[in-house]
Structure 1
Amino acid sequence: MKNFALIGAAGYIAPRHMRAIKETSNHLAVAYDINDSVGIIDSISPQSEFFTEFERFHEHAHRLQRTPSSALDYVSVCSPNHLHHPHIAAGLRLGCDVICEKPLVPTSALVDELQRVERETGKRVFNILQLRHHAAILALREKVAAAPAATKFDVELTYITSRGKWYAESWKGDSRKSFGLATNIGVHFYDMLHFIFGGLQRNVVHHSDAVSAAGYLEYERARVRWFLSIDASDLPAQVAGRQTTFRNIDVNGEKLEFSDGFTDLHTTSYREILAGRGYGLEDARHCIETVEVIRSATPVRDAQGEAHPLARRSA
């Protein structure tokens, strides 16, 4: 049984990490968040220590390290995006391996810095890239690998997940903390595309604002038109009023169905990490480089017919 600490216990994604720790028969020893709305802990790990001040959490973690039976093995990081780097570094320097939510960090330079801290501490960082474990994604990857080497697939990716007015007031609506829409909600899709279709060759942005973004990505094996939005008005007519999220990936005109099968992917990710097969810093570099370019790009007019249909509507 491994001992875990969790940073960011009040966040949306934290319960999935808590359950993954429990479902892999491990122990959540201590959790931290500046907010105290963490009642979910009662149904998962009610004996866990909890702190709302990082200094008290950090001192408690150091005390745990003095005794082999209580020493922390892993720190799980679920804090807001802009805090991932310092929290990962703190976990490594506690003598723990670290499991972090995506986006891991905003820039490839910070990946380099974390690799330096890995070397200094002898510990490792793992990123949750759960779509790489999804059965439909793995099947498509095999299909692409089996196709003739010269084949390029035409892909249209649409992800609309409508958010209320709270979003703009939260850290997620502050680009200094979330690093923008494409980074916050798109990074795992870019990782998925790289995982399936290989190295990125072109990265063009056609549209970008606070609530939506769109562009064109060309990989070794695919041409991808993508559109991301948190604006409910972008929902297709056939689902508007009935559901708040629309997720669709078409590959050569065929819909990739992956709406189901998400429930246990964090637990699967934890099992793989604990078995020595987790995805580390270099695995995450590609999608970090992709969003780094998207954030800094100036949207261009579509002169080659490469834009997503919804991007053309937004232009």
Structure 2
Amino acid sequence: MKNFALVGAAGYIAPRHMRAIADTGNRLAVAYDINDSVGIIDSLAPEAAFFTEFERFYEHAQQRRRRAEDALHYVAVCSPNHLHHAHIAAGLRLGADVICEKPLVPTPELVDELARVEAETGRRVFNILQLRHHDAILKLREKVAAARSDTKFDVELTYITSRGKWYAESWKGDPRKSFGVATNIGVHFFDMLHFVFGQLQASQVHHSGEAKAAGFLEYERARVRWFLSIDANDLPDAVKGKKTTFRNIDISGEQLEFSEGFTDLHTVSYREILAGRGYGLADARHCIETVDAIRRAGTTPAGADAHPFVHRLVGLTG
């Protein structure tokens, strides 16, 4: 049984980490969040220590190192995006391996910095890249690998996940903390595209705003038109009023159905990490480079490579 700490225990994604820790037969020993709305701990790890000040959490974790049976083996990081780097580095310096949510860090330079801290501490960083474990994605990867080597698939990726007014008031609505909508809700899709279709060869951004972003990516094996949004107005008419989320991936005219099968992917990710098969800094680098380039890029006029929803936006605005 391994001892885990959880940083960001009150966040949306934290319960999945708590359940993964329990489902893999391990112990949540200590948790931290500035928010004390963490009652779910009672049903999963009622004996866990809890702190709302990072300094007290860090000192507690240091004291645990005095007894081998109490020392932390892993620190799970579920804090706001802009705090990931600092919390990962702190976990490594506590003598623990670190499991971090996406996006790991915002820039390739910070990946390099974490590699230096790994070398200094002898510990490892793992990123939750759960779509790599999804059955539908794995089957697609096999299909692409089996196709003729000169085949390049035409892909249309659409992800709209409606968010209310609270979103803009939270850290997620602040691009200095979330790094923008393409990073915050898109990074795992960009990782999936690399995982399935190979190295990125070209990128354009056709729209970039607070609530939506769109562009074109060319990979070794695919040309991808993508559209990401948190604006309910972008939902297709057939979905409006029925669902708040629309997720669609069209691959050369075939729909990829992967709306199911997400529930246990964090537990699968934890099992792989604990078995020594987790995804580390080198695996996460490509999607970080992709979103970093998207944030830095200027917009290009929408042409034939633009997602159809971009053309609709152009029609609405002028």
TM-score range, shorter chain: over 0.9
Could you tell me how far apart the structure 2 residues matched to 1:5 and 1:58 are? 10
What TM-score, normalized by structure 2, do the two folds share?
A: 0.98
Could you tell me how far apart the structure 2 residues matched to 1:98 and 1:203 are? 31
Corresponding letter in the other structure for 1:14: A
SS in 1 for 2:66: coil
What TM-score, normalized by structure 1, do the two folds share?
A: 0.99
- Give CA deviations for 1:56-104 in whole Å, capped at 9, x if unaligned: 0000000111101111000000000000000000000000000000000
Q: Paired residue for 1:51?
A: 51
Could you tell me how far apart the structure 2 residues matched to 1:312 and 1:105 are? 32
Indicate if the aligned counterparts of 2:302 and 2:310 stay in contact, CA closer than 8 A. no
Q: Paired residue for 1:96?
A: 96
Indicate if the aligned counterparts of 1:105 and 1:288 stay in contact, CA closer than 8 A. yes
Could you tell me how far apart the structure 2 residues matched to 1:84 and 1:262 are? 23
Q: CA deviation at 1:109?
A: 0.1
SS in 2 for 1:20: helix
Q: Paired residue for 2:256?
A: 256
Could you tell me how far apart the structure 2 residues matched to 1:314 and 1:90 are? 43
SS in 2 for 1:195: helix
- Give CA deviations for 1:166-200 in whole Å, capped at 9, x if unaligned: 00000000000000000000000000000000000
Q: Paired residue for 1:307?
A: 306
Pairs within 5 Å for 1:218-257:
218-257=218-257
Pairs within 5 Å for 1:151-300:
151-300=151-300
Could you tell me how far apart the structure 1 residues matched to 2:309 and 2:37 are? 38
Q: Paired residue for 2:65?
A: 65
SS in 1 for 2:84: helix
Could you tell me how far apart the structure 1 residues matched to 2:112 and 2:271 are? 26
Question: Structure 2 unaligned runs (5+)?
Answer: none
Pairs within 5 Å for 1:102-113:
102-113=102-113
Indicate if the aligned counterparts of 1:197 and 1:222 stay in contact, CA closer than 8 A. yes
Could you tell me how far apart the structure 1 residues matched to 2:311 and 2:226 are? 11
Q: CA deviation at 1:313?
A: 1.2
Q: CA deviation at 1:302?
A: 2.2
Q: Paired residue for 1:130?
A: 130
Question: Structure 1 unaligned runs (5+)?
Answer: none
Corresponding letter in the other structure for 1:181: V
Corresponding letter in the other structure for 1:112: D
Could you tell me how far apart the structure 1 residues matched to 2:79 and 2:310 are? 31
Could you tell me how far apart the structure 1 residues matched to 2:111 and 2:74 are? 19
Could you tell me how far apart the structure 1 residues matched to 2:174 and 2:31 are? 25
Could you tell me how far apart the structure 1 residues matched to 2:153 and 2:184 are? 26
Corresponding letter in the other structure for 2:310: A
Q: Paired residue for 2:19?
A: 19
Identity over the aligned pairs, expressed in percent? Answer: 76
Could you tell me how far apart the structure 2 residues matched to 1:6 and 1:133 are? 22
Corresponding letter in the other structure for 1:50: F
Runs of 4 or more consecutive aligned structure 1 residues displaced over 6 Å after TM superposition: none
SS in 2 for 1:12: coil
SS in 1 for 2:286: helix
- Give CA deviations for 1:86-125 in whole Å, capped at 9, x if unaligned: 0000000000000000000000000000000000000000
SS in 2 for 1:39: coil
SS in 1 for 2:239: coil
Corresponding letter in the other structure for 1:314: L
Q: CA deviation at 1:43?
A: 1.0
Could you tell me how far apart the structure 2 residues matched to 1:125 and 1:314 are? 40
Indicate if the aligned counterparts of 1:207 and 1:314 stay in contact, CA closer than 8 A. no
Indicate if the aligned counterparts of 2:197 and 2:219 stay in contact, CA closer than 8 A. yes
Q: CA deviation at 1:312?
A: 1.2
RMSD: 0.4
SS in 2 for 1:131: helix
Could you tell me how far apart the structure 1 residues matched to 2:302 and 2:171 are? 32
Could you tell me how far apart the structure 2 residues matched to 1:102 and 1:69 are? 30
Number of residue-to-residue matches in the alignment: 314
SS in 2 for 1:4: strand
- Give CA deviations for 1:212-234 in whole Å, capped at 9, x if unaligned: 00000000000000000000000
